[in-house]
Amino acid sequence: MQVEQEWIDEYSLKNGEFDITDVDRQLAQIVPSPTQMGKVYAKLIKDTLQSDENYVDGIMRVYNNEICDVIDNYNCSAFYEPSYVIARAYQSGGF
């Protein structure tokens, strides 16, 4: 909890109002678990980590990219794509 609070303070993180589980059940019958999404993002961070960057910088870079809006939209299937497809979409600017 201390590390979490340090990150919240250091990066001025705020709670949002977006409900990630508010999906069209005809389009998204399964909402992935936080662990499943953590794996998607961990692979994306690892696959796009730059040589001069540490993991914290990689996390901040990825989470501040607009591709997260697509990955987190469970009405589409971006989060189900193989990690190399997601990394390629990230590097090319979108799906």
Query: Tens digit of pLDDT for each residue in 37-86?
Result: 999 999 999 999 999 999 999 999 999 999 999 998 888 889 889 999 99
Burial of 70 (0-12, 13-18, 19+ CB in 10 A): middle
Task: State how far the Cα of 95 lies from the Cα of 60, in Å rounded to an integer.
Answer: 20
What is the extent of the structural domain holding 78? 32-95
Q: Please indicate, yes or no, if residue 9 is contained in any of the structural domains.
A: no
Q: Is residue 8 a part of any domain in this protein?
A: no
Whether 50 is covered by a domain: the verdict is yes
pTM: 0.75
Does 70 reside within a domain?
A: yes
- Total of domains in the chain: 1
